[in-house]
A and B are shown apart, each in its own frame.
Chain A
Amino acid sequence: MDQTLKKQLEITACKVRMGIIEGVYNAKSGHPGGSLSIADLLTYLYFHKMYVDPKNPKMADRDRFVLSKGHTAPALYSVLAQRGFFEADELKTLRKIGSRLQGHPDMKYIPGVDMSTGSLGQGISAACGMALSGKITADGYKVYAVLGDGEIEEGQVWEAAMFASHNKLDNLVAIVDNNGLQIDGKITEVCSPMPITDKFEAFGWHVITVNGHDFDELEKAFDEAEKISGQPVAIVQKSVKGKGISFMENQVGWHGTAPNAEQYEQAMSELKAQLEKLEG
């Protein structure tokens, strides 16, 4: 990847992380851990990969994005704000009465949200429906869906996985955010969905593994996905829950907890330091 572009994406991802912390801190609730683990991925998609227009969020031939792991809405809202779908200031209204920014994504009111999600396992089915619809009328758009590694314990995910390969939905890319943690602990200890890659392969998908915090690797993975025809693509991204904030990284406790004032200050100062270093 072009180094200037890479630097720019890293800067943007840092700002996306700030938006996540801003939102969750002001809401006094929400899911920072899994939001931070997909901040780089969403930055890559919205700032480099996907064909979208913040001024025309319902554009018919836009690429679609479905956050199947809907509880990490703070990441989606933050990246949408950075991309210009709405003002970044609105992130402070997250989860508050009267705000469009519901605890989980609501497609009816939030510009740029293509599907309402939150109940795990459901977004991937809707993404399959969008991809199928695109195939029926030969529309050129792509559909990207992000799933949690805990989420794939839901049986509906595998119903969708069967459907996608049976219908040769090569306009669908599902990204599994493999941060290894879910609410009750390590995914391998709660009810292991491993091995993830073998499962998707067995269901007829082309599978790519990638470091979800490396833009060079993300670029390679999505370039490879682009070349696949006749089957859907699963990108399993290895990631760190809480990525970017020292005391949140790999800590299951930060799945669904908001930082207090002191933790907020520390998190923001760490992100500011990262940003200064990148911009330096």
Chain B
Amino acid sequence: MADVIKKATRESYGEALAELSSEYPDLIVLDADLAAATKTGIFKKACPERFFDCGIAEANMMGIAAGIASTGKKVFASSFAMFAAGRAFEIVRNSIGYPHLNVKIGATHAGISVGEDGATHQCNEDIALMRTIPGMTIINPADDVEAKAAVKAALDFEGPVYMRFGRLAVPVFNDKETYKFELGKGVQLRDGNDVTIVATGLMVNEALMAADTLAAEGINARVINIHTIKPLDKDIICKAAKETGVIVTAEEHSIIGGLGSAVAETVTECCPVPVVKVGVNDVFGHSGPAVELLKEFGLSAENIVTKVKEAVKLK
């Protein structure tokens, strides 16, 4: 593992938009004065005539995207998750969600790994907010390979999609040559029958590391990557609940309303088993280096191992 390549999924997002620009000649990209950070600047460089900066006005940007989509063009609207899902929530609900318009929202800098900017910019609530909008698809890719494939899948999908990308460079663990993205399908990365770890985003790699540690201690953990949080792959979740009897979820998001909640809501209906959640525990973040913050807030392989050991006792 010495030569692990690391890359931020926001980079993958910007690169994917640029790479797909000729294949999708009607693709329009919007940003709200953060093109350098969200990496839509890469698209802007490739296709300046199809890039529009809306300035620091996220609410209006979402409405602009809705209007463009209503005329049949494909459109990505980009900002930090805090502003795309948070500030512009009601516009996303009423101008994009309610008319079910074909708008893709590219939300970067999600979660606590924003780092030094601190709590005002660390959005741990976006998945919860977006999940409540009827018909909204939510994708939270785990690495570069998945992120790029997800951008293309979103473009080929008709309807509103919220895509979540990170600022921090994270290990690339998927194989570019063999990887296939299937919208709405969970990916089982490890088999195991003692416990299931259901993870999303940058926590997927942590879950894999946790599974290694647990295996060495005799606990065989199944690992499932959920890149599409909505609609959730209920089959893979319910199967895991039945076969392993306990689930630990892991996400860089509040434990309220995110993946953990979605999984718990699902298993209560098909196979009620204990669901233990690893995530941000109903607190605001604060400034600091991203890697240290992830450790401090328990978003680590170590904490997953601890929680799994507690969880298996609940069986």
A residues in contact with B57, CB < 8 Å: 156, 159, 162-163
For the complex, would chain B's binding face be called helix, strand, loop or mixed by DSSP majority? helix
When the two chains form their complex, are residues B52 and A114 in contact, meaning their CB atoms are under 8 A apart? no
CB distance from A172 to the nearest CB of B (A): 10
When the two chains form their complex, are residues B67 and A130 in contact, meaning their CB atoms are under 8 A apart? yes
A residues in contact with B72, CB < 8 Å: 60
Q: How far is the CA of A230 from the CA of B95 in the complex (A)?
A: 27
CB distance from A69 to the nearest CB of B (A): 14
B100 within 8 A of A: yes
When the two chains form their complex, are residues B28 and A122 in contact, meaning their CB atoms are under 8 A apart? no
A133 within 8 A of B: yes
Most buried by B among A114, A115, A139, A167: A115
Given contacts A136-B28, A159-B59, contact A126 B90 (CB under 8 A): no
**Residues 60 to 88 of chain B near chain A (Cβ within 8 Å):** 60, 62-73
Q: How far is the CA of A170 from the CA of B14 in the complex (A)?
A: 31
Q: How far is the CA of A187 from the CA of B63 in the complex (A)?
A: 25
A124 within 8 A of B: yes
A contacts, CB < 8 Å to B: 60, 106-108, 114-116, 118-119, 121-134, 136-137, 139, 155-156, 159-160, 162-163, 166-167
B286 within 8 A of A: no
CB distance from B188 to the nearest CB of A (A): 37
Most buried by A among B67, B71, B95, B98: B67
A residues in contact with B70, CB < 8 Å: 107, 114-115, 126, 129-130
CB distance from A106 to the nearest CB of B (A): 8
Given contacts A136-B50, A167-B52, contact A116 B99 (CB under 8 A): yes
When the two chains form their complex, are residues B99 and A125 in contact, meaning their CB atoms are under 8 A apart? no
When the two chains form their complex, are residues A132 and B68 in contact, meaning their CB atoms are under 8 A apart? yes
What are 27 pairs between A and B in contact, CB < 8 Å? A106-B99, A114-B70, A115-B67, A115-B95, A118-B94, A119-B91, A122-B59, A122-B95, A125-B64, A125-B95, A126-B66, A127-B67, A128-B60, A128-B63, A129-B64, A129-B65, A129-B67, A129-B69, A132-B64, A133-B28, A133-B68, A136-B28, A156-B60, A159-B55, A159-B59, A160-B64, A163-B64
B54 within 8 A of A: yes
When the two chains form their complex, are residues A126 and B67 in contact, meaning their CB atoms are under 8 A apart? yes
Given contacts A125-B62, A133-B73, contact A116 B67 (CB under 8 A): no
Q: How far is the CA of A107 from the CA of B99 in the complex (A)?
A: 6
B residues in contact with A159, CB < 8 Å: 54-55, 57, 59-60
CB distance from B60 to the nearest CB of A (A): 4
When the two chains form their complex, are residues A130 and B91 in contact, meaning their CB atoms are under 8 A apart? no
CB distance from B119 to the nearest CB of A (A): 24
